[in-house]
């Protein structure tokens, strides 16, 4: 039996039977696009989009700075509060017995010496500073004169003292001295810097 293909005629441009047509050349217009290399200034493999890279948000940094500022202000406020409310005052007791301390107290009053007054005060504090006391001495014209030593008791010494003020007659009182645990002596004073048992 003769094949059917023997009776088929092929015109020009048609391939013979059982053969694949030759590959057609690919038009550059429809072929796979060939992208140019990256422009200068960009890392390899990154094409330019024409827009600058997005900016990083610094919200976390700003919040951290604000929190650090709050902590610093809080610490400063606590420090100021402690300093203002601190009731402790550094003192240096006079070396010697009650005779030395009583004379140091009388001298501090008459000489308007806040440091000397502070050093003999049993309970100095920032609430009643010695500077205020000596300012009051100057305003009232307070003067003291030491008298005789009175009878002592356990841990206490007493001296008579004469106090004069401007426009007032002299007053005689008893000046008390207390012995502290370390063996030093001091004078219990009021906020005005005068002995607690001295007549007003």
177 contacts 157 by C-beta, under 8 angstroms: yes
Q: Is 7 exposed, middle or buried (0-12, 13-18, 19+ CB in 10 A)?
A: exposed
52-69 pLDDT per residue, tens: 666 666 777 788 787 777
- Tell me if 120 sits within 8 A of 96, measured CB to CB: no
**Helix (H, G, I), strand (E, B), or coil: what is residue 169?**
strand
Over residues 158-186, the pLDDT tens digits come to: 898 899 999 999 988 888 888 888 889 99
Domains and CATH numbers, the chain: 98-186 (3.10.450.50)
Considering only residues 11 and 124, tell me which one the structure prediction assigns the higher pLDDT.
Answer: 124
pLDDT at 144: 93
Nearest to residue 90, comparing CAs of 130, 128, 118, 127? Answer: 118
Per-residue model confidence as pLDDT tens digits over 136-155: 999 999 999 998 888 777 78
Is-contact 166 110, C-beta < 8 A? no
pTM confidence score: 0.55
For residue 88, what pLDDT is reported? 65
């Amino acid at each position: 039996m003769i094949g059917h293909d023997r009776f088929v005629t092929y015109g020009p441009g048609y391939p013979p039977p059982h053969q694949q047509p030759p590959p057609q050349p690919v038009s550059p217009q429809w072929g796979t696009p060939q992208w140019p290399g990256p422009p200068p200034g960009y890392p390899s493999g990154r094409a330019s989009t024409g827009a600058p890279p997005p900016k990083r948000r610094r919200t976390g940094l700003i919040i951290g700075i604000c929190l650090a500022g709050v902590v610093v202000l809080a610490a400063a406020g606590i420090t100021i509060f402690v300093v203002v409310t601190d009731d402790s005052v550094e003192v240096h007791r006079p070396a010697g017995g009650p005779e030395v301390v009583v004379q140091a107290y009388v001298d501090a009053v008459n000489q308007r010496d806040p440091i000397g007054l502070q050093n003999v005060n049993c309970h100095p504090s920032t609430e009643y500073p010695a500077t205020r006391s000596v300012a009051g001495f100057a305003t009232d014209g307070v003067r003291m004169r030491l008298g005789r030593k009175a009878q002592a008791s356990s841990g206490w010494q007493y001296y008579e003292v004469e106090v004069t003020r401007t426009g007032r007659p002299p007053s005689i009182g008893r000046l008390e001295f207390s012995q502290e645990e370390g063996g030093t002596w001091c004078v219990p004073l009021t906020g005005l810097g005068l002995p607690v048992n001295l007549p007003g």
